[in-house]
Amino acid sequence: MRHQRGEGKLGCIVSMLVLGALGAVAYKVVPVYYGNSELIDACDFIASDASKRPLEVIDREIRSKAKELGVLEALTDKNAIHVSKSGGENAGTCTITLRYKRTIDFYGVYTWTLETDKRISKPIFENIG
């Protein structure tokens, strides 16, 4: 019978390579998803507080937040952000539509496009209180 020590260096090396590859992918993907999520949350907040602000101010706030978060694709296309209000004199709806694409380049090996097509509608109540 032969006696073997049972060291497995190859398995450790493969595991470290897989872990490194997952870390490199996360380094590219997480900031893009985080920026999108934060922009959508900001639009949700802005739409729910849109009763006395004109459309131009709301649009400017959204574009400022997109610039702050680094979502430049929402700023380059004029149709990426659309703000509208509808309804009567005392109540209505504020609708914000986000429609843009962000491309993630995985170190020149692969590119992936994340499409954002989100519509946020919130009721407007002007004379409460």
The structural domains of the chain, with segments of one domain joined by +, span: 9-125
Assess whether pLDDT exceeds 90 at residue 85: no
Assess whether pLDDT exceeds 70 at residue 126: no
* pLDDT at residue 124, as a whole number: 78
Kindly report, residue by residue over 5-50, the tens digit of the pLDDT. 656 778 888 899 999 999 999 999 999 999 999 999 999 999 888 7
pTM assigned to the model: 0.79
Distance, in Å, from the CA atom of 97 to the CA atom of 38, rounded to the nearest integer, reads: 15
* pLDDT at residue 122, as a whole number: 86
Stretch 65-82: mean pLDDT, rounded? Answer: 88
Strand order in the sheet with 110-125: 81-87, 91-106, 110-125
Alpha helices by DSSP H, the chain: 9-48, 55-69, 73-76
